[in-house]
Chain A
């Protein structure tokens, strides 16, 4: 700081900063991007390792053997599901009771703010069934959760059946130290949300549910299982939860360790691991995987049933079976063993998972980028703001310095008062508030006056308010800037993200499909906010959009 206390050097430094401001910013920007993309390069990342001692050193022997029985159970479940036209509650209750679990049910109902056209639901009524395996000689203070969603149609029958088969096998073992809750939830995330809110006796999303009768203390970890075919080629691990929260990295390590042990192909973001990191394809593959994780976290929704557990400080992950009709096949017994091993190790935990990282990016399952490695890239991007601000500050201060020299200039052109600035600021933020509130509240009026459905009404209202915000100032002088501004606006960013995401999951879409996806993304975002408390929609509407709108205003400043 001696550098700054000397006035001459200080002057030189500020001079340097103002003169070279733009080049420095560009260098920082490029360095940030390069740093970030470099994180996907394998030699720059760390190998994952198990931090938790309780799970690392004690290998368990898996003995689960009733995979075949689980598959026949899946057929039975399917038949009952068809007969009941939904969740076969009574059958499930009986099935769990006969396996020696304490069984409870929870009914819930939720009226969505507007119809969800992707899943075709509006008034949702359902029942969760859960059975608790009481650990012998344990005082009901800790629990693990295994969930399987009961989905409509043909999907997930195998998951529910495997859950029951595991319950039967687990019930006969003596080594449990934590109670194990087997949860079959209806209406995927809504059911999970209702169950979690019931379990913790909270109500944060306006769900109506019947209170839970049986509990098992504080839940330490949860696994969600999604399985729709008898044999699978690979298991996909899903970590991204609500608002981009991630479970402890040890949970991913645990999954990876057991996949290695049992010889199961495992993927993350649906991408297999490659060994050729030194080729261009290998690097692109890792970069794609990492970017997918970034995108999924950024969109703030829960990518599986596990995502809602994270809010309650419960480490959770989803395990999804994928059948892509390749040669390599894994049967239900092996998946059962994998889950058995994971649950047994979680059962060994003495403390909550806390040893490993909570903030990380995964270019592959065996490599991770910790927060300490990716934050410098973010810091390099953020320092640009600081540099620009410094530049402006110096420029503002310069005339004042000149005045000291005694050159009494005429009155400086009076700077616009606070009030003139206030008007655009208030207007911008009010537009943001309107964008946040009006679409959902005005849907009925919109449906009355226009030939659209409720969902379309909400999405189109949102877009209308959004574009109405742009129409505020009128000045056609700077058309080029205006075009650039529009292309950088939040809505366009979402649109780009949709295309990038489709490109990354190797399912590119045409422009019109992309536009349809964009519309459904908006409705999903609003729904996620209303149903589970995802923060992306309010963040965009109340913060980013008004800020951008102010830029837009400045652009057309007279």
Chain B
């Protein structure tokens, strides 16, 4: 039951990258970088690319990917690696010290608007997300994880040290290794998100330092924080995984993929004019490739060209690829060729909109909200939309909810088209107060063209007074839920797509293009918990102490005491006389 959908290591970006590279390498005559890299290091590689996708809303999406390959035998036990060429030493040491098999970390500021922007190349939830597969030789995974988060916190200048057991989960099916190896034992997987983490310049600088050229040359010169953070969405990530060096997989290598995705807003930047240029986006133009890079390219998605926008300067290089289930055409600008830069010795791409186009509805998207009011109970609603007109497909929903929302799991309902939808796989791990969060994973079949609603009620816990954050009235965050799915491809859906391909090739859809893997993150939730008035304790303490001391004490006294009139005590002489009388046996005096 560990791998119900078979999601492992499906990465279409990877495939696209390979196919376009193969196609273009034939024309790749001059390679300046080879002269600079020493012969011994020929197997370490660095590639950089930038994909620009104009979005139908008028916004523009720029996605940077930097890929460093490190040719080292990482699986060999006890081998000390001390020689680093292109791969950053800080990360290399972390990998070997903590026996990391795979590491994925992302910092995101903003929420990806699937309905306006389509699917991103590399999805990520708002805030910080970290998931790590450890080698199966590690005995103390939790210890390694704790140390690793603290080290990464230092490397990326982020509050990853707030990751502890209370927000770490071990998903059983949602996160499979993307690289080599077929690890399925989720005891070696750790997953955590920090929805509140804010991403800013101090996270960008250490991220840029990991690049072989830094931000001195190549595409990275565009990464100026004053522009990158003047945007609607910003996400930067580091993915490390083992990959094959060649087709036969005779030797293995570490792959470090640094990605940065940013969406620029038309209204706040464009003053209403639908026109974008590299300079307008980044306030820089490109003048050279990174000398260490074996390939350095800019892709512009021109699938909707020429109806939608015009692109200058034009380029003769085109590349076609199936990305996220859709056939796209890209103009390619190869920065390692001198003619790309033209007379001015600088490349400033210019896109000018000509009309409005209609975007294809994304086949899968999800949203989440808290229903109800008051501070005692509530209900989490997760709504998943399947917009495919006729295909049903399964999705894997993963929810990690902090312990202070006490889920009533018996109220869990899944409904699609107002009918009960029984999940075929449920993995639920209840929370332990102050120790671990709830983890809920479900495999749900989404009927075609439907809306599926997952609801579960919860009760808000009363925290101890030291457990509140310094701003308790802001609320408490619940991380995004993750929807992973193999979505039927648009290419496969479009059986009428015969204009520019031979008939014999289009009758039966190609297997690997028939569906593609997507991960969709919902928005995080902000939940208010019952909060004491922290400015009042002094008054309250004074008042209650006074009431208890004065009121309770004396009332208790009054209620329990029995009153009776005192016998007046006899004078001393009479008492002496009585003593004598008692001895004599005569009645006593009173």
Q: Name A's B-contacting residues (CB within 8 A).
A: 1, 4-5, 7, 100, 102, 134, 136-142, 171-174, 200-202, 215, 217-218, 311-313, 350-352, 354-355
Contact = CB atoms under 8 A, between A and B. Distances in A.
Contact of A139 (B195, B266, B473, B527): B195
The 10 closest A-B pairs by CB, nearest first: A1-B554, A139-B126, A201-B371, A351-B473, A141-B526, A137-B110, A140-B523, A351-B474, A137-B109, A136-B232
Nearest to A173: B268
Contacts of A354: 473, 531, 533
Nearest to B453: A211
Interface residues of B, number: 51
Most B C-beta atoms less than 10 A away, residue of A201, A313, A355: A201
B558 A4 contact: yes
B473 A200 contact: no
A136 B110 contact: yes
Interface string B172-195: 000000000000000000000001
A200 B558 contact: no
Given A100-B266, A137-B109, A200-B372, A1 B557 contact: yes
Interface SS majority for chain A: loop
B371 A138 contact: no
A352 B473 contact: yes
A350 B374 CA distance: 20
B164 interface: no
A201 B523 contact: no
A138 B474 contact: no
B557 A137 contact: no
Nearest to B564: A7
Given A218-B526, A351-B471, A138 B111 contact: yes
A139 B523 contact: yes
A100 B474 contact: no
Contact of B113 (A4, A134, A171, A352): A134
17 contacts: A102-B116, A136-B232, A136-B233, A137-B232, A138-B110, A139-B126, A141-B523, A172-B267, A174-B230, A174-B265, A201-B372, A217-B523, A218-B527, A312-B373, A313-B373, A313-B374, A313-B528
Contacts of B563: 5, 7
Contacts of A355: 535
A4 B233 CA distance: 72
Contact of A137 (B234, B371, B554): B234
B282 interface: no
A134 B25 CA distance: 42
B231 A136 contact: yes
Contact of A140 (B111, B232, B527): B111
A406 B105 CA distance: 91
Contacts of B26: none
B373 A136 contact: no
B364 to A, nearest CB: 16
Contacts of B477: 141
A96 to B, nearest CB: 13
A138 B127 CA distance: 10
Contact of B558 (A1, A136, A139, A141): A1
B372 to A, nearest CB: 6
A539 to B, nearest CB: 20
Nearest to A199: B369
A354 to B, nearest CB: 5
A321 B381 CA distance: 39
Contact of B525 (A1, A141, A351): A141
Given A141-B523, A202-B372, A350-B471, A1 B555 contact: yes
A137 B474 contact: no
Contact of B268 (A7, A142, A174, A200): A174
B229 A218 contact: no
A172 B271 CA distance: 7
Nearest to A314: B373
A174 B270 CA distance: 12
B272 to A, nearest CB: 8
A140 B366 CA distance: 13
Interface in B454-492: 471-475, 477
Given A202-B373, A311-B373, 13 more contacts: A1-B554, A1-B558, A4-B558, A5-B557, A134-B232, A137-B231, A139-B110, A141-B525, A200-B373, A201-B371, A218-B526, A351-B471, A352-B473
Most A C-beta atoms less than 10 A away, residue of B111, B477, B555, B557: B111
Contacts of B472: 351
Nearest to B535: A355
Contacts of A141: 475, 477, 523-526
